[in-house]
Structure 1
Amino acid sequence: MNIYRKIDRNKVQFDFLVTDYGCENYYDEITRLGGNVYFLPCEKLSLKEIKKTFFKVLNLRKYDYVHYHALSKWGECISYAKRLNINVIVHSHATKMSDTFIKSIRNRLFSLNTLSCADKRVAVSPEAGRELFLWEKFTYIPNMIDYDKFKYSNITRNKIREKYNFSNDDKVIGIVGRISKQKNQKFALAVLRQLIKENKNYKLLVIGEYDDKGKKYFQMLKSLIRKYGLERNVIFTGMVLNVWEYYSSLDLLWIPSLYEGMPTVAIEAEANGVPIILSSQITKSLKINGNVSYLKVNNCSLGSWVSLSKRQINSREFNSISNVKETIFNSKRVLTQWMRLYGL
């Protein structure tokens, strides 16, 4: 969506074929920008239904490219694009095929078809490219943000903190993204539990929603919160459409993901200047500011997360926008790379 909002839509237009999990899907915005959105309900995700829907959509109009961004059985359909003489771009977003061994094998098998059909290979980080494409060549195009929107604001900081009744003494830590095993909110709760043993003013703002696949995980998190006695320290915001304002309200951001390709959240937060602690599984190529640190994510590293959080929590970078503009994440540079993908 960050690309779609900025790309020259007089020269290139996107349609979207997606699974409908019932959460934010940008439908209204996409149609307003001239695109179409085609949904396949999550209860109809049989391979037969996927193939049927994919083939139907490809025949609706003359497409020049299929730009594939997933690791799933949807990949079994990509050969249909080749039969219709449509160019295929395969885009890697993750540094692991899945969070379980069995699913990793399954997704590797699904990816074989996509790789054999790929005319162009793209990755959001060098690590994500090597994971999916192995020895094949690929183009590294980092994720892009509208970084000026994420500039720190004391006004929005106060607005969001007042909304959730945070006091001036509260130390607010954020974790942004879909509530799921991959994003590892469970680990964040364990770190928070240790922090509040020393200071009750630590708060964790969990910004994001869960989909149908994440319901059990969310219920497990709620149970842990009750078990740890964190009811007054953890706030679930649900889906928010003004996430850029939330970064200003934070004193620290955690990204303890089990795996990521190139988390856009991290770049957004760096543009805002909020200090970040990330899982060591995440690419190091996104480090822009001096207040960004990496730690392992396991039970043995809990103490390191606690001690580093206490040191990092008041180290906001106030020159961060200038830093981002001088890097590979510069939006004009990234947009140029995307246009080249489509031969423009």
Structure 2
Amino acid sequence: MKVLEVNVDDLHSGGVFSLIKNVIVNKGTDIKIDIGAIEQFVNIENIRMLDKYDCDVHYIGYDGSKWKKQIVCFKNLKKLLKSNNYDCVHIHADVANKLLVSAFAAKCVGLKKIIVHSHAAGVDGNHRVFKRYIHLMCRRLLAYVATDFVACSELAAEWMFPNIAKDHIVIINNGVDLDKFRFNPEIRIEERKRLGLQNSKIIGHVGRFAYQKNHEYLIKIMERLHEIDSSIKLLLVGEGPKEKEIHDLVKNKGLEDTIVFFGTSDSVNELFQAMDIFVLPSFFEGLPIVGVEAQAAGLPVIFSSLITSEAKITQNVQFLDIAEDNIDEWVRQILHDIGKKRYDTYQELKNRKFSIQDTIYSFLSLYKGE
């Protein structure tokens, strides 16, 4: 069986890439999974790694005008599907127009199985009002071009598929490698030493620097915390379009020694070991993979109240409002939770089917129509 995963790339090392990479690495040999990337891969090593698992990466995007890009992507995807005889196409996106263009291309070549997968519950980037309008216009059309509808949470399903019956939507958890993220005291000691933060209390955040992740709110929280306890540090893992803006904000507030800009990492699992608490004050998420990883590492977690309650897997999770007048509440909760003792959450996540093995089984069952 041959499957093409569409709109997957390693730009900013996002959650969808992490998820699909895990599926490809663990899928077995009875199925071939390729990638149709709308954005260029930024790390050639990721392409080489995928090649070891018989995964071909095809660039079907366009680097010019965004309006022309949709047409070029449509044509390139049609050509790729025609020449490679795929049995199934699995399209990933946070907005309906991206799903619609690719699904229509697959329908035009007569593909029998066209899966559209919702990974978010909001609009990111610039021109958000316009993007939301386009999304709302396109999402009802998905019913006419796709055969299967998948979401990472009930909230993501509501965002993308308002005219699809709930029993026709498959919810697939964003599973992670539980053994890889399992709390390990020895790795914790080594990683904190490598970071030079042995004597610090570390707040962790993993996510690209973009509107969605709300880094500005994090900086305001850190400004208050620094006044109370100077041993508290914020570890920011990721990169993105707003990175320089956040750097400048930190500098203007004199917090350079308090906030660590780590960049991207191929060993995020080890960075989770070093943290004492994980925070995610996002404006929206589908179901954040980093939130699952943090809980797999046994960390106390604080989510924005705008994130679906389905993200709460362990008992060490709190949801707080991200209103401007609620920063003190975040400060109080962080100070309360940052000293909590870590514990092994492996079985809790396993029981809730947040293991990558559960996700792989769900994906393969979907592809094979089981």
TM-score normalised by structure 2 residue count = 0.86
- 1:293-336 deviation digits (Å, cap 9, x = unpaired): 11111212111111000001022441211211111324443333
CA distance in 1, matches of 2:101, 2:181: 38
1:23 to 2:23 alignment? no
1:306 match: 331
Aligned 1:189-204 pairs, distance under 5 A: 189-204=219-234
- 1:52-84 deviation digits (Å, cap 9, x = unpaired): 221221122111111111126543242121122
1:222 to 2:247 alignment? yes
**Any idea what SS the aligned residue of 1:315 has?**
coil
1:178 match: 208
CA distance in 2, matches of 1:338, 1:20: 23
Give the conservation status (yes or no) of the 8 Å contact 1:97–1:131: no
Task: Specify every segment of 5 or more residues in structure 2 that has no aligned partner in the other structure, as ranges.
Answer: 1-20
Range that drifts further, 44-53 or 278-287: 44-53
- 1:172-221 deviation digits (Å, cap 9, x = unpaired): 111002121111112111111110011111111111122xxx1xx21210
Aligned pair in 2 of structure 1 residues 257, 335: CA closer, same or farther (>3 Å)?
A: same
Deviation at 1:112, TM superposition (A): 4.3
Q: Aligned to 1:3, which of 23, 26, 36?
A: 23
CA distance in 2, matches of 1:226, 1:134: 44
Give the conservation status (yes or no) of the 8 Å contact 1:291–1:316: no
**Any idea what SS the aligned residue of 2:313 has?**
coil
Write out the 4+ residue segments of structure 1 that deviate beyond 4 Å after TM superposition: none
CA distance in 2, matches of 1:96, 1:72: 11
Aligned 1:5-154 pairs, distance under 5 A: 5-10=25-30, 12-21=31-40, 23-24=42-43, 26-40=46-60, 43-44=63-64, 45=66, 46-70=69-93, 71=95, 73-74=97-98, 75-86=100-111, 87-98=113-124, 100-137=128-165, 138-154=169-185
Give the conservation status (yes or no) of the 8 Å contact 1:98–1:107: no
Code of the residue aligned with 2:88 in structure 1: it is Y
CA distance in 1, matches of 2:144, 2:27: 28
CA distance in 1, matches of 2:171, 2:102: 25
CA distance in 2, matches of 1:166, 1:317: 18
CA distance in 2, matches of 1:21, 1:307: 42
CA distance in 2, matches of 1:24, 1:115: 35
Give the conservation status (yes or no) of the 8 Å contact 2:96–2:142: no
Task: Specify every segment of 5 or more residues in structure 1 that has no aligned partner in the other structure, as ranges.
Answer: none
- 1:142-194 deviation digits (Å, cap 9, x = unpaired): 111111110112222122212221132x1111100212111111211111111
Provide the aligned length of Structure 1 versus Structure 2. 337
**Any idea what SS the aligned residue of 2:261 has?**
strand
**Any idea what SS the aligned residue of 1:182 has?**
helix
CA distance in 1, matches of 2:251, 2:313: 37
Deviation at 1:98, TM superposition (A): 4.3
Aligned pair in 2 of structure 1 residues 222, 42: CA closer, same or farther (>3 Å)?
A: farther
Report the aligned-residue RMSD. Answer: 1.9
CA distance in 1, matches of 2:218, 2:269: 21
1:238 match: 263
CA distance in 1, matches of 2:337, 2:244: 30
1:259 match: 284
**Any idea what SS the aligned residue of 2:83 has?**
coil
